[in-house]
Amino acid sequence: MKPLSIEDHLAQSSFEASPPKWHLGHTTWFFETLVLMPRGQNYQPFDANFPYYFNSYYEALGPRIDRASRASLTRPSLEQVHAYRAAVDESMSELLDKQELDNETLEVIELGLNHEQQHQELFLTDFKKALGQQPFFPVYRADFKEDRREALAPTWLEIPAGTHSIGSRIDTFHFDNEGPLHEVHLGSFAISSELVSNRDWLAFMEAGAYTSPMHWLSDGWAWLQEEGIKAPLYWVAEKEAWQRFSLAGLVAINLDAPVTHISYYEADAYARWKGLRLPTEFEWEAAADRFAWGERWEWTQSAYLPYPGYKPYTGPAKEYNGKFMINQMVLRGGSIASPEGHARKTYRNFFHPQFRWQFTGLRLAKDL
């Protein structure tokens, strides 16, 4: 967060994005509330009002500020939030140093560390959205690379019909929505070795796809008309040539880099325009060892639903994932904003179909 000014810490671009100061306070609150308060000997909360400010969506843990109002938190000050962070870090260090911790406590701490990594990614994407609403395309960090891998010539990877193990094994960390491990039978299919590129997307645009309802889902076409969408998020028409706003400022579009910041609706329309489809999340996972992934979160055509035998976390963390299993679509892979080591092929990200402020892209599939 070093490049940020004090004013930057209150930037909230939309309902789904949060300001940097809130991210910092919320991740601190998670450790205080779910680890220290239940287990820290004689632990006293840093401030009795902070749970109201920094609780995200945990109904069982009490009332909280409305999500859309997080940018209004001029109090506590940024200095107080940093002090809060330092105090909780110190108490966590004491807990880890002085006590023999049981497995349940260690599991909650591990969940907290992975939760923190999720918010490190959200910080980047949320703040990019805030910068994208400023005039003159301000720079977050001049050396930030959003395109780290150019597409090769795509090939079709053919997967024969068969049964595949889907989900995480018990002996490795995973979020509750990644389990349990189960068998899925898939028909034969092929999946592209490469993500769809900016060059591919430009052809889609030039074919008039954003002005014709032919390939769009009904809800997608209504969204397109209501929002006036004509291109991926952050694309800017400059002197009849497209450029793209990035965390390094306004840059020329690299035609061979994967397209990004597209909604599920756009991804689905592109696939239909090509006479193809998006892979299911199960197809994606079954084939993931055969292609490179991690550059973009990849939309799948799978609705976000529980696996057979799904069990949420126990205790307050029960609200972590399961209650969002409605009206959202699954994305797989990871992105250039994901912390190193955070993503895995069983990871199930999920967003509403109109959202595109994350580094989202697509990979095509077809039946055989």
* Spatial CA neighbour of 163 closest among 179, 178, 182: 182
Query: Residue 164 belongs to what H/E stretch?
Result: strand 162-166
Cβ atoms of 183 and 165 within 8 Å: the answer is yes
Cβ atoms of 175 and 320 within 8 Å: the answer is yes
Q: What is the pLDDT along the chain (368 residues), one digit of tens a residue?
A: 678 999 999 999 999 999 999 999 999 999 999 999 998 678 999 999 999 999 999 999 999 999 999 999 999 999 999 999 999 999 999 999 977 899 999 999 999 999 999 999 999 999 999 999 999 999 999 999 999 988 789 999 999 999 999 999 878 899 999 999 999 999 999 999 999 999 999 999 999 999 999 999 999 999 999 999 999 999 998 777 899 999 999 999 999 999 999 999 999 999 999 999 999 999 999 999 999 999 999 999 999 999 999 999 998 899 999 999 999 999 999 999 999 999 999 999 999 999 999 999 999 999 99
DSSP reduced 3-state for 275: coil
pLDDT at residue 152 in the model: 85
What's the CATH code, domain 156-367? 3.90.1580.10
Hey, what are 323's tokens? 């209650």
Cβ atoms of 356 and 233 within 8 Å: the answer is yes
**CA–CA gap between residue 216 and residue 249 (Å, rounded):** 31
Cβ atoms of 358 and 326 within 8 Å: the answer is no
pLDDT at residue 149 in the model: 85
pLDDT at residue 3 in the model: 85
**CA–CA gap between residue 29 and residue 73 (Å, rounded):** 15
pLDDT at residue 40 in the model: 67
pLDDT at residue 99 in the model: 72
Hey, where are the domains in the chain? 7-132, 156-367
**CA–CA gap between residue 359 and residue 295 (Å, rounded):** 8
CA atoms within 13 A on the CB side of 234: 30
Contacts of 69 (CB under 8 A, 6+ apart): none
Query: Residue 22 belongs to what H/E stretch?
Result: helix 20-31
* Spatial CA neighbour of 111 closest among 359, 325, 318: 318
- Going from the C-alpha of 230 to that of each of 141, 198, 213, the distances in angstroms are 27, 14, 13
- Going from the C-alpha of 310 to that of each of 60, 118, 145, 284, 359, the distances in angstroms are 21, 22, 38, 20, 28
pLDDT at residue 1 in the model: 63
Partners of 183 in beta bridges: 165
CA atoms within 13 A on the CB side of 261: 21
pLDDT at residue 198 in the model: 97
* Spatial CA neighbour of 127 closest among 224, 244, 2, 229: 2
Query: Residue 57 belongs to what H/E stretch?
Result: none
pLDDT at residue 172 in the model: 85
Question: What sign results for the dihedral spanned by CA atoms 40, 47, 71, 304?
Answer: positive
Q: What ranges in 133-210 are assigned the alpha helix state H?
A: 198-206
Residue corresponding to tokens 């009904």: 218
pLDDT at residue 14 in the model: 93
